[in-house]
Structure 1
């Protein structure tokens, strides 16, 4: 093989032949998905150009990458930063959020949405700690945050994806 003369060896657990199952390849194989560069490649439901749904082999953010992102979000301790204003939080964390959206949101952005909603939950928790009128009122703090998102749709990088406000056509 070509890699032997360089002194490279294949790792038996990491090197596998993967069956890329999709609509035209319907066979079965024990290995049908793989992870690479933070993405999981596997058969996924997609909408066809001609209409309807079909199965295609494609990437989306991997569960391990999403778990790492949620760990990073948790490490921010947003709910404990009641001394900061919402604008300050946006300035502090938007670069991270924008990077995740640009990298993992390129393919199958819906896989990233539950993780982005966790940021919303932490922000609502922050609001209930910051403002006395929102304490012990989860729904009220979520609605307060939604009103801010309607007024300033681009304050946080993930708001256009989650709420649909401030979206521009063809941006990507």
Structure 2
């Protein structure tokens, strides 16, 4: 006997729409902001996404949340020229996530860069 299954996760269309909205924020180009200012701007929106789309199946949101982390690493690389190398910027990002684990709302689901 087969049972119909249903996973109430985010649809591909909604994921595409959220990804394009995230791209439109151009986080990596906001080098005039501090990390805390970026968190203040991003957190309410991402928290709402996580509550709405990730209520039942939050692992489907992980690619989107990892993309936010990738933009944050790109922001670090552009803002601090001494961290322009990917490995240095990634190490700096991991240090920030360990020192301030609650700074960004999405870090409770996806703190690691990968």
> Structure 2 length normalisation: TM-score?
0.91
- CA deviation map 1:98-141 (0-9, x unaligned): 00111111111110000100000000000000001111x12221
**Unmatched runs of 5 consecutive residues or more in structure 1:** 1-23, 27-42, 44-55, 165-172
CA positional deviation for 1:58: 2.2
SS in 1 for 2:8: strand
1:153 aligns with 2:78: no
Give 4+ residue runs of structure 1 displaced > 4 Å after superposition: none
Q: Aligned match of 1:76 in 22, 25, 48?
A: 25
Give the distance between the partners of 2:97 and 2:58, measured in 1 at CA. Answer: 20
More strand per residue: 1 or 2? Answer: 1
Report how many residues are paired.
Answer: 112
More helix per residue: 1 or 2? Answer: 2
1:117 aligns with 2:62: no
Which is higher, the Rg of structure 1 or of structure 2?
1
1:87 aligns with 2:28: no
Give the distance between the partners of 1:105 and 1:65, measured in 2 at CA. Answer: 12
Give the distance between the partners of 2:71 and 2:15, measured in 1 at CA. Answer: 16
- CA deviation map 1:8-51 (0-9, x unaligned): xxxxxxxxxxxxxxxx525xxxxxxxxxxxxxxxx6xxxxxxxx
Aligned to 1:25: 2
> Structure 1 length normalisation: TM-score?
0.62
CA RMSD after TM alignment: 1.5
Give the distance between the partners of 2:68 and 2:7, measured in 1 at CA. Answer: 26
**Unmatched runs of 5 consecutive residues or more in structure 2:** none
Give the distance between the partners of 2:102 and 2:63, measured in 1 at CA. Answer: 19
